[in-house]
Structure 1
Amino acid sequence: MITPPYLKKGDTVAIVATARKHIDDDLKLAKEFLENWGLKVLVGSSIGLDQNQLAGTDEDRANDFQQQLDNPTVKAIWCVRGGYGTVRIVDLIDFTNFKVHPKWVIGFSDVTVLHSHIHNLGIQSIHGMMPVNIPRATPEAKESLRKALFGESLSYAIPFDPINKLGKAKGELVGGNLSILYSLFGSESAIDCTDKILFLEDLDEYLYHIDRMMMNLKRNGCLESLKGIVVGSMTKMKDNDIPWGKDALQIIEDVTKTYNIPVVYHFPAGHIPDNRALIFGRQVTLEVTETGTKLIFD
């Protein structure tokens, strides 16, 4: 996998909207956040656009992303927020120049569309907090993003959880939002699970739908080809009047229990303030033991 050039002081980061609109503020916090790292900020033309839920038309959002993708002075593209809409523009984007001159694409949730598509181009990307998350983000989440962008050593150690499945594995880290990954199967952006370590998180889903999506991953041959699974936050899950009978983690445990691979739960990433940065496409070592879990990026 190709690693885009790490950032250095004086580099420019473009902030764009690929999905839901962002018209609430002038991104003052995001500008200060990046400027404190010695970076410059370019606010894309999609910021402030308003078409119902979306940041302008599909063409508006695609054109802004394309412009920043092809702008040689922009060294990273930071998606302002998730929601829905990135899948509507991914096929409008020409990644030809990006494949020759890669740069970091940063975000999570709906940005999983770009992570998965970019992974299939053989280029790494960063799953991490977005500008809209700055007010609530933990210092650890912020620092992890800085380390990922500037090429510093990145590793995590988290406490033991009895639901974990013990083991050790090494492979490329891929994944993102479960609902998005589920929606991409059958397209050229579909996730490649072969010999990978899969990260999953989700928000605001019915429990039976978590089961449906996990069964889809299983029936698509994804789970049986994995080397390990990292489960982040499953936030604000919902149940029906007649309960499903398992929570989200129990559902994942039930679907994956036949596979002889390590699985770690409650990893600090996803729709939570402590959303630690993950470098997708990077080789990692996952070690799940009775004393805790380590995730180490090569």
Structure 2
Amino acid sequence: MKIRIVSPAGSIKSRVVEAGMATLRSWGHDVTLAANALESYGRFAGTPEERASDIVEALRDPDVDLLWATRGGYGCMQILDMIPLDLVREAKKPIVGYSDITALHALWHKAGVKSLHAPMMKHLGEEPTHRTTRTLREVVAYYEKHGQFPPRHNGLFVRDWNAEHPEAQILADEVAFVGGNLSVLSGLHGTPYDYDYEGKILFVEDISESPYKIDRMMQQLRLMGVLDKVRALVCGHFTGCDEDPLMPVKLWDNIRWIASPSGIPVIMGAHIGHEVENFPVVVG
């Protein structure tokens, strides 16, 4: 499969990208690097125009089957309106990544094209044999062979804790997953690029956010009616979101309390997000 490496958000060191590309090539893929993928413009991998042009070029290039982001950070919100929705819809090429790439997953979802919430270059280079990476390889190989992602793919990340979480049975249903990084989702609310949440399973994760900020973003979902629209809420890693002694309840208990009026299953501890255990989830 022909994979184009793009940097839609933060800048990244070339050695990290090279190590990740080496892993993808070891899987038998033809991997090329976008023109501006290693650029540096402050904290960004080039100007918004440069980053957007790399994605547009990859979508138009008949020799590209799939786009893979180098890293998150911040920057995807700057380029959402520079990527033609019709082009995403017509190209039907998935994009792979997570964290800030959540914004692009939402754009792909709006275009009706599935994408993959999964590790990026740093993980691929540093953890080439980790079980998360092996699972990701299986999912990508299935896509290469069949032109679509595998059914029941979203059960992969719960296989080690399903017995402890009987409510996870809902994941056995063929229901679309939407979501990603909670902070990015909060930024998408009220824009034309927010997800269609109706009837979906919402998954969220975050990093380095205070519990009261997590509370605020979850309350936003509640007040918008999102938690009344979705069929379930899946919570991944909240890395570095340390407990706050001034918050009256623990983070997980607070999330359950916020979601409780909706009556939906709330599944905690999914291996999704900013940890080595970051299993792929097909969005859409």
Shift of 1:46: 2.0
Partner of residue 42, structure 1: 32
Q: Name the CA shift for 1:160/1:67 in 2 (closer, same or farther; >3 Å).
A: closer
1:190 aligns with 2:190: no
Partner of residue 286, structure 1: none
What is the CA deviation profile of residues 149-182 of structure 1, one whole-angstrom value per residue up to 9, with x for unaligned ones? 2225633323258788576364211110011111
Alignment of 1:73-152 (within 5 A): 73-134=63-124, 135-136=126-127, 139-151=130-142, 152=150
Residue from 208, 211, 214 that aligns with 1:207: 211
The separation in 1 between residues aligned to 2:256 and 2:234, in whole angstroms, is 12
Structure 1 gap segments, 5+ residues each: 1-10, 282-298
Partner of residue 247, structure 2: 244
The separation in 1 between residues aligned to 2:16 and 2:164, in whole angstroms, is 45
Partner of residue 275, structure 2: 272
The separation in 2 between residues aligned to 1:137 and 1:182, in whole angstroms, is 32
Asked if structure 1 preserves the Cα contact closer than 8 Å seen for 2:20 and 2:123, the reply is: no
What is the CA deviation profile of residues 174-200 of structure 1, one whole-angstrom value per residue up to 9, with x for unaligned ones? 110011111101111112111111111
Partner of residue 291, structure 1: none
Aligned length: 270
Percent of pairs with identical residues: 29
Partner of residue 17, structure 2: 27
The separation in 1 between residues aligned to 2:187 and 2:49, in whole angstroms, is 21
What is the CA deviation profile of residues 60-114 of structure 1, one whole-angstrom value per residue up to 9, with x for unaligned ones? 1111111111111110100000000010011111232331221110000000001
Shift of 1:23: 2.7
The separation in 2 between residues aligned to 1:104 and 1:166, in whole angstroms, is 26
Partner of residue 265, structure 2: 262
The separation in 1 between residues aligned to 2:128 and 2:266, in whole angstroms, is 26
Please, what TM-score do these two structures have when normalized by structure 2? 0.88
Deviating more after overlay: 135-144 vs 156-165: 156-165
Asked if structure 2 preserves the Cα contact closer than 8 Å seen for 1:167 and 1:262, the reply is: no
Alignment of 1:150-165 (within 5 A): 150-151=141-142, 152=150, 154=153, 155-156=155-156, 157-159=159-161
Asked if structure 1 preserves the Cα contact closer than 8 Å seen for 2:118 and 2:279, the reply is: yes
Q: Name the CA shift for 1:53/1:234 in 2 (closer, same or farther; >3 Å).
A: same
What is the CA deviation profile of residues 137-160 of structure 1, one whole-angstrom value per residue up to 9, with x for unaligned ones? 762211222222222563332325
2:60 alignment partner AA: D
Partner of residue 232, structure 1: 236
Structure 2 gap segments, 5+ residues each: 143-149
The separation in 2 between residues aligned to 1:186 and 1:54, in whole angstroms, is 25
Secondary structure of the structure 2 residue equivalent to 1:257: helix
Secondary structure of the structure 2 residue equivalent to 1:215: helix
Asked if structure 1 preserves the Cα contact closer than 8 Å seen for 2:25 and 2:31, the reply is: yes
1:62 aligns with 2:66: no
Residue from 165, 175, 183 that aligns with 2:179: 175
Q: Greater helix percent: which structure?
A: 2
The separation in 2 between residues aligned to 1:208 and 1:82, in whole angstroms, is 23
1:147 alignment partner AA: E
Deviating more after overlay: 118-127 vs 163-172: 163-172
Partner of residue 293, structure 1: none
Asked if structure 2 preserves the Cα contact closer than 8 Å seen for 1:196 and 1:227, the reply is: yes
1:218 alignment partner AA: R
Shift of 1:225: 0.9
Q: Greater strand percent: which structure?
A: 1
The separation in 2 between residues aligned to 1:33 and 1:138, in whole angstroms, is 9
